[in-house]
Structure 1
Amino acid sequence: MPVATKPQPAPKVAAEPRPVLGPTGNRVRASPEEPKRKNASLTKPRQVTKPGPELPASAVQNNVSVDTVCSSDSTSSGGSSKKVAKLSRTTKRVGAKPTKLARNPPRADAGEATSEPSGPLKRCDWITPNSDPVYVSFHDEEWGAPVHDDWKLFELLVFSQALAELSWPTILRKRDTFRKHFDNFDASLVAQYDEKKLLSMKVHGSLLLSEAKLRAILENAKEIVKIQKEFGSFNNYCWSFVNHKPIRNGFRYARQIPVKTPKAEVMSKNMMQRGFCCVGPTVVYSFMQVAGIVNDHVLCCFRFHECGAAIEKDLKLKNQEPEKQDGASE
């Protein structure tokens, strides 16, 4: 007799985990029942690749992307995208870095010059940021420039003598007063002054200079008148000691500039023999400097080259004068 068998229940099918929305909205995370899966990319063993072929030099020089060069080479040879990635990784690991090219400056037109920002002018060391503006203007416009006017030369000689009692900034601030008292330094007029005229040169109750300096200016004016008759002008006499060509020393630092030179000593001796007063070698060399007979601007000063250009211009004009005279005589 057959034995009745008990029906077996159907095996339960595990329900699929229901996706649960995360706090960010659309990110899906598995239910707590599903085990967490590790990232396959982290557990995957790192693949060591062999060094690939060298990149063409044009790619480095032209700053072309490495991936672009590799992809173009692999595509032309029928390679796959995996080969492109492999070459790029290998190249970066070997150290072939593209050179960084400098940015090209904006091109200017052929007739347009590029303007560069100009910094502060470089002057002689004795001009500082705290110097009097009058003194700075005197340095930038007059000191060291060749002077050939008799009245101006007489004025500069007086100022060089006054340096024993006053400074350059003080003298320059009183310049108009000096010119008023000395008739704009016309030697023919100053030579006619008397004792009363000299003692009347006062500023705020005190003499413009000491009596000794005022008397020296009077005597020097008389001698200049004599020199004008002998040499034609006081200019010809002063410039004859340097053969009518100024001296350009070209010192690098102000401390190298001397207070007197053999040329100044020769000129000083000749002037004292003629009857000039208060014209020692130091005074005469200061006069030669300010009158441009000697260019003692330091090399880095912008006036060193400007005074040199003015000297060359004077020489050209002097060379042209004889030619004009010859043409007129013919």
Structure 2
Amino acid sequence: MKHAPPNDNVPRCGWVKGGNALYYDYHDNEWGVPVHDDQRHFEFLILEGMQAGLSWATVLNKRENYRRAFANFIPQQVALFSDKKIASLLQNAGLIRNRLKIHAAVNNARCFLNIIEEFDSFDAYVWRFVGGKPIQNHWQCLTDVPAISRESKALSADLKKRGFKFVGDTIIYAHMQGVGMVNDHEVRCFRHQQCAVMA
């Protein structure tokens, strides 16, 4: 089913233009909002990995399918996925059927649980990389927004060291944007100031 974008003149970030209603809803209500729930962190981490080489719109359109297929992104359940379960996921037309990405998601669930065991929560672990509060950027337009940062490089390197897959610098920077570790809304966007006060 096609989702029509909102018919308004609200100023938004350049990247959201031309998207469907799911895209606008994600931008207006989720992107850049600080996340402190481990299950939500895990969802974003897996979805960002699935997006690699594809558009975020593609992932958003399949998000509900992923929630059903990946036990609503409960890492403790995903970590127990068997080879038989993985094989069934690779036959699921509602998913991005990439063998490496699906295997990585299960691997990452196990690594995610190791971090929780060490730090009590993934949230406590990940927010250390930005000093415990969102980085507030003030970009004027879409072309100003970087694809990576010093912090995303450091987090990516640490995740790789801990055994995570599909966690390159760019994927991790997108994750940091999504979970509000960095506020990359353009200053003209109506969400810039709204997200800034959430810090």
- Verify same fold: TM over 0.5: yes
Residue 135 (structure 2) pairs with residue 219 (structure 1): no
1:180 to 1:303, Cα distance in 2 relative to 1, 3 A = same
| Deviation of 1:209 (Å) | 3.0
Aligned mate of 1:269, from 147, 154, 157:
157
Q: 1:94-138 CA deviation, whole Å, 9 max, x = no partner?
A: xxxxxxxxxxxxxxxxxxxxxxxxx7210001122x321110111
Give ranges in structure 1 of 5+ residues lacking alignment.
1-118, 312-330
1:1-330 pair list within 5 angstroms: 120-128=9-17, 130-201=18-89, 202-204=91-93, 208-311=96-199
User: Which AA in structure 2 matches 1:133?
Assistant: A
Distance 2:169 2:117 in 1: 25
Distance 2:102 2:70 in 1: 10
Secondary structure in 2 matching 1:270:
helix
Distance 2:53 2:62 in 1: 13
User: Which AA in structure 2 matches 1:255?
Assistant: T
Secondary structure in 2 matching 1:203:
coil
Distance 2:103 2:16 in 1: 32
| Deviation of 1:195 (Å) | 1.2
Large movers: runs of 4+ above 2 Å: 206-209
Kept in 1: contact 2:66–2:95 (CA 8 A): no
Kept in 1: contact 2:142–2:186 (CA 8 A): yes
User: Which AA in structure 1 matches 2:113?
Assistant: V
User: Which AA in structure 2 matches 1:158?
Assistant: I
Paired-residue identity, %: 38
Q: Which has the larger radius of gyration?
A: 1
Distance 1:283 1:271 in 2: 12
Kept in 2: contact 1:162–1:209 (CA 8 A): no
Structural RMSD (CA): 1.4
The structure, 1 or 2, with the larger RCO (C-alpha pairs under 8 Å, 6+ apart) is 2
Number of residue equivalences: 191
Kept in 1: contact 2:147–2:174 (CA 8 A): yes
| Deviation of 1:166 (Å) | 3.2
Give ranges in structure 2 of 5+ residues lacking alignment.
1-7
Q: 1:255-288 CA deviation, whole Å, 9 max, x = no partner?
A: 0111111111111111111111111111110100
User: Which AA in structure 1 matches 2:15?
Assistant: W
For 1:97, the equivalent position in structure 2 comes to none
1:165 to 1:236, Cα distance in 2 relative to 1, 3 A = same
Q: 1:223-264 CA deviation, whole Å, 9 max, x = no partner?
A: 111111111101111101111111011110110111111111
Secondary structure in 2 matching 1:310:
coil
Secondary structure in 2 matching 1:159:
helix
